[in-house]
Amino acid sequence: MKDFVYMLAPMEDAIGLAFRELSYNHGADYTFTEMARVDGLARNNQSSLRKIEIRKPIPTYIQIIGSNEKKLEQFLNEFKPPKGFQGFNLNLGCPSPKMIEKGLGCALIKRISKVKKLVKIIKDKGYSASIKLRLGMNEFERRNKNYLNLIKEVDADFFIIHARDGSQTYDDPADFTVYEEIVKTGKKIIANGDIKTKEQVDELKKMGLAGVMIGRAAVENPRLFNQLKGIKDDKKVIPELKKLLEEYNQNKKFNKILKRIKD
């Protein structure tokens, strides 16, 4: 991994093969697949397998959500890494009530021993394991700083911190003040949430962050990665994305993303 990286966030029903390639073409160093359920992957569910598909050697992490160790092992035993595959990313950030009821997503942040086991299973198979997490499931967990214990104790390759807790919406500003303390853990930390400007990136670099992950802002402006790097990029992207959607036969599922791009 480079000194400071720019990552495209995993976004359900928004980030598919076409948009991942578009973002890579415009400066994203790494892309992430849509979140896929480990349970579905273990039973070869075609919808789940399509979510983690990698067809070209574009640097891509596969994001998974689940807590069943046997099913994770079952899936990994059958998994054949395609070109471009960088590793697995465990989702500990999903705030969906359905996921939380199952003890998944940000409900896993306080289950450190469970997360350790999941990371070990992935690493024992020879793959990179990273974690994307929020600052807890709710305000209480955020104030209690449960996330710090997880970061300190789990041997993941890097941690992507979405600087909100699970009860907060996108209307609540991401809390950049948490990063200074998190960086002191000595772990590789990627910032996520409300990152839109080069000034923000410069400030995060000064704090010692290893990179940034961008989702919604990149959907509106896929050229943002290059622009944050100081690279001039004013190319029209809608024609390019239309061509990629056609190539990957993803018009039906992802065509609506065209309306969100400010070209």
Encode pLDDT of 107-135 as tens digits. Answer: 999 999 999 999 999 999 999 999 999 99
263 pLDDT band, cuts 50/70/90, is confident
| Residue-level pLDDT at 3 | 86
CB atoms within 10 A of CB 12: 12
pLDDT in tens, 135-167: 999 999 999 999 999 999 999 999 999 999 999
What pLDDT sits at residue 203? 97
Using alpha carbons only, how large is the chain's radius of gyration in Å? 17
Average pLDDT, the chain: 96
Task: Name the token pair of 255.
Answer: 């065509």
Q: What is the pTM of this model?
A: 0.96
Q: What is the pLDDT of residue 22?
A: 97
Domain that holds residue 144: 5-260
Does pLDDT of 259 surpass 90?
Answer: no
CA distance 70 to 67: 9
Band of residue 256 on the pLDDT scale cut at 50, 70, 90:
confident
Taking residues 203-229, report their average pLDDT.
97
- Total number of domains constituting the chain: 1
Residue 193 vs residues 112, 200, 216: alpha-carbon distances, Å? 23, 11, 9
Q: What percent of the chain has pLDDT over 70?
A: 100
Q: CATH number, domain at 220?
A: 3.20.20.70
Q: Is pLDDT of 251 > 90? A: no
Q: For the residues 78-90, what does the mean pLDDT come to? A: 98
In the chain, % helix, strand, coil (3-state, to 5) comes to 45, 15, 40
List C-alpha distances in Å: 117 to 9, 71, 184, 232: 25, 13, 24, 44
Token match 């104030």: residue? 143
* C-beta of residue 146 within 8 angstroms of C-beta of residue 115: no
> Does the pLDDT of residue 242 top 80, yes or no?
yes
Q: Which two tokens mark 260?
A: 């969100």
Residue 1 predicted with pLDDT over 80: no
Give me the mean pLDDT over the 74-96 stretch: 98
